[in-house]
């Protein structure tokens, strides 16, 4: 009997490894195809559509400022953090540097994008704090929070090591999520954690592709269809890779409790701290860094009030909370549309329905394990939870990006 159980376990592990390699290969191939299509589209449309309203040189007048923002956003190798974007704005629109060729400006931007503003140890500390705080406001106990912190440390170090070796992004995310989940489960089990689901999600929160999701909906609202599809596919492929890497850890989870913040101020504090750490990790500076705590706290607070006190369903509450965060961002940063997407990504960190996604994925894995023995009720419930989690993600992105898009339209119409 023992030998048969061991052989069954070996077969399951072998099937899982083969499935992981196959799905990762398919995802990587599809991702590369979308990149090629996006690059081909940008090569054709970028010079004709996005740069055509611009003069050959950069002007300091507000008439061309918003159009230059649009050109930067569409540029294929755009900078990847908020601090650099703010630095670029000061460099080219505050300092008197007129009549520079557009190619020279883009070369300087590329040079700036290769210069991190903070040491990697600071980014590591911010990553650990973000994951720890995320676990707390998702209802994780102290044992789970410490497990999350240990997993964040291991995953961040691993990510940086393999990133330098140019490992495929999807495969890298799967490997990092796998290690993160195993470490979190080991530490959490040793400390007798009772909230493993919150712990697992919080351990990979810093890998969730928030910018890609925000950019996809922003591009869609602005009419850039090819770029929107590329970013949307990129975001969901990364999410799928993360879930794939968490399969071994999820198979060990028996307590599927997904808690929501109830404490009147403690959980709001943890939500704000998570957003602040995320902003610091994004190398935000100035007003964006100072306001990130407020944005995270207000978003999480709005969602908790609408669900716990007013009795709204999670999708509606998430949309309303994201809309409130988006309005606050638009009011604070209306004069600087270059960092609106970054601010939106930072502000909605406490609203990401990560635990619900993991619960849905866990149920689907359970159904797949049972095969033909799964009941219709289990299948219906698994599909329903999955659709609700995906709907929450879409409601989150749309709600946060609508106000910022509206303000962008106002700025372009005015100037």
DSSP letters of 54-114?
S-SB---SHHHHHHHHHHHHH-TT---SHHHHHHHHHHHHTS---S-BHHHHHHHHHHHHT
Predicted confidence (pLDDT) at residue 43 exceeds the cutoff of 50: no
Tokens of 317: 């509450």
- The domain segmentation of the chain, as residue ranges, is 1-43+118-250, 51-110, 260-415
Closest-CA residue to 254 (of 368, 362, 177): 362
Rg (CA), the chain: 22
Tokens of 320: 């309303």
Contact 347, 296 (CB under 8 A): yes
Predicted confidence (pLDDT) at residue 195 exceeds the cutoff of 70: yes
Q: What is the DSSP letter of 348?
A: T
Under 8 Å CB-to-CB from 67, ≥6 apart: which residues? 53, 54, 412
Closest-CA residue to 112 (of 88, 131, 129): 88
Residue with tokens 């009419």, as numbered in its chain: 223
Q: What is the mean pLDDT of the chain?
A: 70
Between residues 355 and 24, the one the model is more confident about: 355
Measured distance CA(359)–CA(198) in Å, rounded? 10
CA 26 to the chain's CA centroid: 22
Q: Please state the φ and ψ torsions of residue 37, each to the nearest 5 degrees.
A: -65, -40
pLDDT band at 377 (very low <50, low <70, confident <90, very high): confident
C-alpha distance from residue 158 to each of 95, 162, 178, 195, 207 (Å): 40, 6, 11, 25, 12
Q: How many CB atoms lie within 10 A of CB 310?
A: 10
Q: How many CB atoms lie within 10 A of CB 377?
A: 8
DSSP letters of 310-323?
T---HHHHHHHHHH
Measured distance CA(205)–CA(199) in Å, rounded? 10
Measured distance CA(47)–CA(134) in Å, rounded? 42
Identity of the highest mean pLDDT range in 166-170, 189-193, 304-308, 363-367: 189-193
In sequence order, the β-bridge partners of residue 250 are none
206, 288, 145, 355: CA torsion to nearest 10: -60
Greatest Cα pair distance, the chain, in angstroms, is 81
Closest-CA residue to 228 (of 210, 213, 209): 213
CA 27 to the chain's CA centroid: 18
pLDDT per residue as tens digits for the range 263-318: 545 678 888 888 888 888 877 777 777 888 888 888 887 887 777 777 777 888 88
Predicted confidence (pLDDT) at residue 129 exceeds the cutoff of 60: yes
Contact 411, 337 (CB under 8 A): yes
How high is the pLDDT of residue 87? 55
Predicted confidence (pLDDT) at residue 394 exceeds the cutoff of 50: yes
Give the three-state DSSP class for 167. coil
Measured distance CA(372)–CA(32) in Å, rounded? 35
Measured distance CA(214)–CA(202) in Å, rounded? 20
Measured distance CA(196)–CA(141) in Å, rounded? 9
pLDDT per residue as tens digits for the range 319-368: 888 888 888 888 887 766 667 767 777 888 888 877 677 777 777 777 77
DSSP letters of 4-73?
HHHHHHHHHHHHHHHHHHHHHHHHHHHHHHHHHHHHHHHHHHIIIIISTTS-SB---SHHHHHHHHHHHH
Between residues 255 and 181, the one the model is more confident about: 181
Q: What is the DSSP letter of 166?
A: T
Q: What is the DSSP letter of 154?
A: H
Tokens of 170: 């999807």
Under 8 Å CB-to-CB from 161, ≥6 apart: which residues? none
């Amino acid at each position: 009997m023992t030998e048969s159980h061991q052989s069954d376990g070996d077969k399951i592990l072998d099937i899982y490894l083969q499935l992981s390699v196959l799905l990762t290969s398919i995802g990587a191939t599809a991702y590369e195809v979308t990149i090629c299509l996006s690059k081909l589209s940008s090569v054709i449309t970028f010079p004709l559509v996005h740069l055509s309203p611009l003069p050959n040189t950069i002007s300091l007048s507000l008439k061309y400022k918003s159009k230059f923002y649009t050109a930067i956003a569409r540029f294929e190798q755009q900078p990847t953090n908020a601090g650099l974007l703010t630095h670029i704005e000061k460099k080219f629109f505050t300092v008197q540097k007129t009549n520079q060729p557009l190619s020279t400006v883009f070369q300087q931007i590329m040079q700036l994008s290769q210069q991190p503003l903070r040491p990697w140890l600071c980014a590591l500390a911010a990553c650990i704090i973000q994951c720890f705080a995320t676990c707390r406001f998702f209802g994780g106990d102290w044992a789970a929070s410490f497990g999350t912190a240990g997993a964040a440390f291991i995953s961040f170090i691993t990510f940086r090591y393999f990133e330098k070796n140019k490992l495929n992004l999807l495969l890298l995310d799967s490997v990092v999520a796998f290690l993160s989940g195993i470490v979190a489960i080991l530490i959490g089990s040793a400390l007798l954690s009772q909230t493993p689901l919150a712990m697992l999600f919080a351990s990979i929160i810093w890998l969730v592709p928030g910018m890609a999701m925000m950019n996809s909906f922003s591009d869609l609202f602005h009419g850039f269809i090819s770029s929107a599809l590329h970013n949307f596919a990129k975001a969901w492929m990364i999410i799928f890779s993360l879930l794939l890497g968490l399969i071994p850890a999820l198979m060990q989870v028996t307590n599927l409790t997904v808690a929501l913040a109830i404490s009147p101020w403690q959980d709001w504090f943890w939500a704000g701290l998570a957003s602040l750490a995320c902003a610091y990790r994004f190398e935000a500076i100035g007003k964006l860094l100072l306001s990130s705590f407020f944005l995270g706290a207000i978003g999480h607070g709005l969602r908790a009030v609408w669900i716990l006190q007013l009795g709204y369903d999670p999708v509606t509450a998430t949309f309303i909370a994201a809309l409130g965060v988006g309005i606050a961002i638009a009011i604070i940063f209306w004069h600087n549309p270059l960092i609106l997407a970054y601010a939106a990504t930072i502000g909605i960190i406490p609203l990401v329905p990560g635990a619900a996604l993991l619960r849905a994925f866990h149920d689907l894995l359970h159904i797949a394990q049972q095969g033909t023995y799964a009941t219709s009720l289990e299948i219906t419930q698994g599909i329903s939870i999955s659709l609700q989690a995906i709907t929450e993600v879409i409601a989150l992105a749309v709600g946060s990006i609508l106000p910022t898009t509206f303000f962008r339209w106002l700025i372009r119409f005015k100037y």
